[in-house]
C-alpha cells in the first residue's frame, strides 16, 4: 500500500517543482497543467529548463526554443507576436543589462525569434562583442549544424571565461580610477578659481571694508603705485558664474596722462571647466591718453577684439562700450563696489544707488 501511494506523491512533487521553475521564468503553467503532460513531455520540459539555467550562467545567447507543445499554447495565452523593430529590441536588451536585470526577464519569452534576438544582444553586450546583426539571419529554431556550432562556441566561452572575468574586473577598476581622477580634476579647478578670485582682490590695490564702517569716511584713500599716482579698478559687468571677472585698470602718472591695463578670468567652457585668463599692468603700457575716458574706451576696444576668446563676453564688452558712448560724462564708478552706474546728478556721490542705500542704513 505504501508503494502504491508513493508514486502519485512523487509525480505531484515533480509537477510542483516544474511549475515553480517555470514561474521563475515568468511562465504561468499551473501544476495541474503540468500534470496533464505525458512523462516524455515533462522530461523534455525539465531538460529545457536545465538548459536555460546553464545558458544564463554562461551568458549563452542561443539554446533550443520552447518545446512545441508549450510554445503553441503559450502563444495563444500571450496574444499576437511582437512587431517591434530589431533596433528597439536590441536597445531594450542593453537597457536591461545596464539595469542589472536578469536574462530570464526577457519580455519576448513567448516569441521565439525576438526572444533569441533580445537574448543575443544582452549576452553580446555583456561580453563587449559587436551588436551589428543587420547582415545576420533572423533567429529561429537552430539546425543540427547550428547546435553543434553553438556547442563549440559555448566550449570556447567556458575556456575564455576566466580571462573575461579578469578583463571585466580590470575595466571596473579603470572606471573607478577615471571617476576618481575626474573628481580630483574638478576639485583642483575649483581651488584654482578660488585662488584666482583672491588674487584679483589682492591686486586691486584697495582694501575692502564693510559698508557700515564707511559712514565716517567721505572718500577712500587713493592707491599708489610705482608711478606715484592713483590706480582705479573698473569692473565690467559680464554674465556667467560668480568667478567671471573682467576689469580695466586705469593709472594717472605724474604728468597727468592716463595709462590703461586689464585683467580677465572667465569660464571659457562650462562643460570642461576650462578658463580664459590674461592681464596687463597699466604701468607697463607705452600708450598714454589725455583723459581717463579715452584710456578706458581704448582698453575696452582691445578686450573686445578676440583676446579673451569667449564671444559672449566680448559681445557684452561691446555693449558696455556703446553704453559709455550713449551716456558721455554720466557714467560714474562706485567707490565701494567698483561697478559703473548712470549718474544724473551734477555732484557725483561716489556711490551707486545700492551702496548709497547700504550706507544710509
Tell whether the model's pLDDT for residue 194 goes beyond 70. Answer: no
Average pLDDT taken over every residue of the chain: 75
Angle in degrees, 0-180, between the axes of helices 39-58 and 144-202, rounded to the nearest 10? 30
Q: What is the 3-state secondary structure (H, E, C) of 284-335?
A: HCCCCECCHHHHHHHHHHHHHHHHCCCHHHHHHHHHHHHHHHHCCCCEEECC
Tell whether the model's pLDDT for residue 352 goes beyond 90. Answer: no
In which residue are the cell numbers 542704513 written? 361
How many Cα atoms are found within 13 Å in the side-chain-facing hemisphere of 360? 8
Tell whether the model's pLDDT for residue 20 goes beyond 90. Answer: no
Distance CA 93, CA 107 (A): 10
- Length in residues, the chain: 361
> In the structure, what pLDDT confidence band is assigned to residue 222 with cuts at 50, 70 and 90?
very low
- Say what the pLDDT of residue 226 is: 46
- Say what the pLDDT of residue 258 is: 92
Q: DSSP label at 201?
A: H
Name the residue with higher pLDDT: 151 or 316. Answer: 316
Q: Which residues of 127-166 are buried (b: 16+ CB within 10 A; e: fewer)?
A: eeeeeebeeeeebeebeeeeeeebeeebeeeeeeeeeeee
Tell whether the model's pLDDT for residue 229 goes beyond 70. Answer: no
Contact 314, 301 (CB under 8 A): no
pLDDT tens for each residue of 286-333: 889 998 888 988 999 899 888 898 888 998 888 888 888 877 766 677
> In the structure, what pLDDT confidence band is assigned to residue 247 with cuts at 50, 70 and 90?
very high
Task: Report the alpha-carbon angle 152-154-150, nearest 5.
Answer: 55
Name the residue with higher pLDDT: 97 or 350. Answer: 97
pLDDT mean over 252-263: 90
- Say what the pLDDT of residue 81 is: 60
Distance CA 153, CA 30 (A): 35
CB atoms within 10 A of CB 277: 13
Tell whether the model's pLDDT for residue 76 goes beyond 80. Answer: no
Give the least confident one: 42-56, 87-101, 209-223, 261-275.
209-223
pLDDT tens for each residue of 125-142: 888 888 887 655 454 445
Tell whether the model's pLDDT for residue 216 goes beyond 50. Answer: no
Name the residue with higher pLDDT: 174 or 352. Answer: 174
Contact 15, 31 (CB under 8 A): yes
Q: What is the side-by-side strand order in the sheet with 274-280?
A: 231-235, 245-252, 258-269, 274-280
pLDDT mean over 64-71: 71
Contact 65, 45 (CB under 8 A): no
Distance CA 199, CA 195 (A): 6
Amino acid at each position: 500500500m505504501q508503494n502504491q501511494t508513493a508514486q502519485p506523491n512523487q509525480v505531484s512533487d515533480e509537477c510542483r517543482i516544474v511549475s515553480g521553475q517555470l514561474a521563475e521564468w515568468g511562465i504561468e503553467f499551473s501544476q495541474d497543467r503540468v500534470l496533464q503532460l505525458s512523462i516524455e513531455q515533462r522530461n523534455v520540459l525539465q531538460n529545457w529548463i536545465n538548459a536555460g539555467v546553464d545558458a544564463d550562467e554562461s551568458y549563452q545567447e542561443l539554446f533550443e526554443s520552447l518545446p512545441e507543445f508549450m510554445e503553441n499554447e503559450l502563444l495563444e495565452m500571450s496574444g499576437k507576436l511582437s512587431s517591434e523593430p530589431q533596433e528597439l529590441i536590441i536597445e531594450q536588451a542593453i537597457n536591461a543589462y545596464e539595469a542589472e536585470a536578469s536574462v530570464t526577464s526577457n519580455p519576448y519569452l513567448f516569441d521565439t525569434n525576438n526572444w533569441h534576438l533580445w537574448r543575443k544582444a544582452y549576452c553580446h553586450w555583456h561580453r563587449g562583442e559587436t551588436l551589428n546583426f543587420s547582415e545576420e539571419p533572423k533567429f529561429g529554431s537552430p539546425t543540427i549544424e547550428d547546435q553543434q556550432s553553438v556547442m563549440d562556441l559555448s566550449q570556447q566561452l567556458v575556456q575564455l571565461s576566466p580571462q573575461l572575468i579578469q578583463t571585466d574586473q580590470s575595466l571596473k577598476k579603470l572606471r573607478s580610477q577615471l571617476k576618481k581622477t575626474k573628481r580630483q580634476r574638478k576639485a583642483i579647478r575649483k581651488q584654482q578659481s578660488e585662488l584666482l578670485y583672491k588674487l584679483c582682490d589682492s591686486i586691486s590695490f584697495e582694501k575692502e571694508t564693510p559698508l557700515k564702517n564707511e559712514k565716517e569716511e567721505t572718500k577712500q584713500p587713493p592707491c599708489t603705485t610705482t608711478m606715484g599716482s592713483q590706480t582705479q579698478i573698473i569692473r565690467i559687468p559680464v554674465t556667467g558664474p560668480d568667478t567671471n571677472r573682467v576689469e580695466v585698470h586705469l593709472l594717472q602718472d605724474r604728468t597727468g596722462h592716463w595709462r590703461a591695463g586689464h585683467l580677465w578670468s572667465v569660464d571659457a567652457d562650462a562643460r570642461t571647466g576650462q578658463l580664459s585668463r590674461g592681464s596687463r599692468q597699466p604701468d607697463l603700457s607705452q600708450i598714454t591718453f589725455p583723459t581717463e575716458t579715452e584710456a578706458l574706451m581704448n582698453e575696452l576696444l582691445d578686450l573686445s577684439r578676440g583676446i579673451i576668446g569667449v564671444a559672449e563676453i566680448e559681445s557684452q564688452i561691446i555693449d558696455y562700450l556703446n553704453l559709455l558712448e550713449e551716456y558721455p560724462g554720466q557714467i560714474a564708478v562706485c567707490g565701494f563696489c567698483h561697478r559703473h552706474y548712470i549718474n544724473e546728478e551734477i555732484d557725483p556721490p561716489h556711490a551707486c544707488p545700492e551702496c548709497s542705500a547700504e550706507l544710509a542704513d
